[in-house]
Amino acid sequence: MKFHVNRDVFSEAVSFVVKLLPQRNPQPILAGVLIEAGDDGLSLAAFDYEASARTRIEATVDEPGTILVHGRLLSEIASRLPNAPIQITQDADGEILLTCGSARFTLAAMPVAEYPAIPEVSGDSGLVPGDDFSTAIAQVAFAASRDDVTPVLTGVQLEVTGNELSLVATDRYRVALREINFDSGAVAREEATTALVPARTLTEVGKTFAHSGDIQISFSGSGDREIIAFTAGNKTVTSLLIKGNFPPVRRLFPAQTEHYAVVNTAELAEAVRRVSLVLDRSAPLRFSFSDEGVSMDAAGTEQARATESVDATLAGDEVTLGLNPQYLLEALGAVKSEFTRITFTSSENANKLSPVLITPQTSGTPESFKYLLQPNLLLR
Per-residue pLDDT reduced to its tens digit, 139-167: 999 999 998 889 999 999 999 998 999 99
Report whether pLDDT(102) > 90: yes
Residue 81 pLDDT level (bands cut at 50, 70, 90): very high
Looking at the chain, the whole-number percentage of residues with pLDDT higher than 70 is: 94
How many helices (H) does the chain have, and how many strands (E)?
6, 26
pLDDT at 347: 64
Rounded Cα gap, residues 140 and 136, in angstroms? 6
Residue 73 pLDDT level (bands cut at 50, 70, 90): very high
| Mean pLDDT over the full length of the chain | 91
Q: Which amino acid is at 26?
A: P
Sequential DSSP letters for 27-82: SGGGGEEEEEEETTEEEEEEE-SSEEEEEEE--EEEE-EEEEEEHHHHHHHHHT--
Residues contacting 300, CB < 8 A, separation 6+: 278, 279, 280, 283
Which parts of 260-380 are beta strand (E)?
260-264, 285-290, 293-299, 305-310, 312-315, 319-323, 339-344, 356-360, 369-373
pLDDT at 365: 62
Rounded Cα gap, residues 17 and 62, in angstroms? 24
Q: Which amino acid is at 187?
A: V
Of residues 272, 357, 361, the one with CA closest to residue 310? 272
Burial 82-93 (b: 16+ CB within 10 A, else e): eeeebbbbbeee
R_g (Cα) of the chain, nearest Å? 25
Residue 302 pLDDT level (bands cut at 50, 70, 90): confident
pLDDT at 113: 94
pLDDT at 258: 87
Report whether pLDDT(32) > 50: yes
Helical ranges in the chain per DSSP H: 7-18, 71-79, 130-140, 199-208, 265-275, 325-335
Residue 380 pLDDT level (bands cut at 50, 70, 90): very low
15 in Cβ contact with 71 (< 8 Å): no
What would the pLDDT profile of 222-251 be if each residue is shown by its tens digit? 666 889 999 999 999 999 999 999 999 998
How far is the CA of 147 from the CAs of 210, 371, 373, 376, in angstroms?
A: 27, 20, 18, 20
pLDDT at 379: 56
What would the pLDDT profile of 34-66 be if each residue is shown by its tens digit? 999 999 999 999 999 999 999 999 999 999 999
Report whether pLDDT(350) > 60: no
78 in Cβ contact with 14 (< 8 Å): yes
- Residue 33 has a CB neighbour count (10 Å cut-off) of 25
Rounded Cα gap, residues 126 and 114, in angstroms? 34
